[in-house]
Amino acid sequence: MKIIMLGAPGAGKGTQARMISEKYGIPQISTGDIFRANIRNETELGKKAKSYMDQGLLVPDELTLDLVVDRLAQDDCAGGYILDGFPRTIPQAEALTGALKEQNTKIDFAIDVEVPDDNIVQRMSGRRACPKCGATYHIRYNPPQQDGICDGCGAELIQREDDKAETVQKRLTVYHSQTQPLIEYYKEQGCMHSVDGTRTMEEVFGDICALLG
């Protein structure tokens, strides 16, 4: 069972990927994890990726694909995997399709967790984090007992730069221009499915499990 998770930043696809991984016993794979593992293990691919990252540059698609394909060849992926955050663009998707075709395999399910932009801005801009112990809150859905103060350690909560409304809006603009076209691409591949991401985490997961069988 080979799965790609799609959805805007903040749609909850990472959480759903983790739950799928636990239920079906297949690894959740993100490019960030792959980069970190290869850099930590000082592999040839990791050294190449680090040379770009150290300069503040994006790792080129070709190298990213090599890293992903190398990861998918590992034993724990024999029964399937969940790609979370890759591919992000049509060229990446086409390259992945080509690489999998060479191995006589393909993606079985591309799952889009659909959430309107307004909901995402509300979700993410309401997040608050404790800089001391790492606890996270939401001013509407999971507020601290005392406004602006961490329940656990009493530190003053902060709003991360990534969670500010204007930053979220910029990330959504990038998503719509670069990543959303993947939905049409995977529709043409015949493996695209969408779920309503505005429902509870458990309800969304139930919808995904019904798709996967």
Q: For residue range 121-166, list pLDDT tens digits in order.
A: 998 999 999 999 999 999 998 999 999 999 999 999 999 988 999 9
Q: Cα(131)–Cα(138) distance, rounded to whole angstroms?
A: 15
Out of 2, 71, 123, 127, the active site residue is 127
Quick check: is 40 catalytic? no
Distances (CA, A) of 211 to 54, 144, 184, 204: 41, 36, 19, 11
What residue numbers bound the domain in which 95 lies? Answer: 2-26+79-115+175-212
Quick check: is 171 catalytic? yes
Quick check: is 36 catalytic? no
Q: Is residue 153 part of a domain?
A: no
pLDDT at residue 185 is higher than 90: yes
What is the number of domains present in the chain? Answer: 1
Q: What pLDDT is stored for residue 32 in this prediction?
A: 83
Q: Is residue 140 part of a domain?
A: no
CB atoms within 10 A of CB 110: 24
199 pLDDT band, cuts 50/70/90, is very high
> How much is the average pLDDT of 179-193?
95
> How much is the average pLDDT of 50-79?
90
Quick check: is 13 catalytic? yes
Q: Is residue 104 part of a domain?
A: yes
pLDDT at residue 56 is higher than 90: no
pLDDT at residue 57 is higher than 90: no
